[in-house]
Structure 1
Amino acid sequence: MRLRMELFVDDMDVSVAFYRDVLGFRVERRAGDYASLRRGGVVLGLGPVAKLPERGDGPGFTRQRLAGDKGAGVEIVLEVDGQEALRTLYEHCERHNAVVEPLRQRPWGLEDFRLADPDGYYLRITHGDAAGEGPAG
Structure 2
Amino acid sequence: MRLRMELFVEDMDVSVTFYRDLLGFRVERRADDYTSLHRGLVVLGLGPVAKLPEQAAGQGFTRHLLKGARGAGVEIVLELDDLDALRALYEDCRRRAVISEPLQMRPWGLYDFRLTDPDGYYLRITHGNAAA
- Length-normalised TM-score, structure 2: 0.96
Whole-Å Cα distance in 2 between the matches of residues 97 and 53 of structure 1?
31
Aligned to 1:86, the other structure's residue is in SS state helix
Identity of aligned residues (%): 75
Instruction: Give the superposition deviation at 1:14.
Output: 0.2
Match of 2:14 in 1: 14
RMSD: 1.0
Q: How does 1:40-79 map to 2 (within 5 A)?
A: 40-79=40-79
Q: How does 1:22-37 map to 2 (within 5 A)?
A: 22-37=22-37
**More deviation in 31-40 or 94-103?**
94-103
Whole-Å Cα distance in 1 between the matches of residues 28 and 58 of structure 2?
32
Whole-Å Cα distance in 1 between the matches of residues 106 and 59 of structure 2?
35
Match of 1:134 in 2: none
1:81-101: CA deviation from partner (whole Å, max 9, x where unpaired): 111111011011111123221
Whole-Å Cα distance in 1 between the matches of residues 57 and 16 of structure 2?
30
What is the total number of aligned residue pairs between the two structures?
131
Deviation beyond 6 Å, 4+ runs, structure 1: none
Aligned to 1:45, the other structure's residue is in SS state strand
Contiguous gaps of at least 5 residues in structure 2: none
Instruction: Give the superposition deviation at 1:5.
Output: 0.3
Contiguous gaps of at least 5 residues in structure 1: 132-137
Whole-Å Cα distance in 1 between the matches of residues 85 and 65 of structure 2?
36
Match of 1:106 in 2: 106
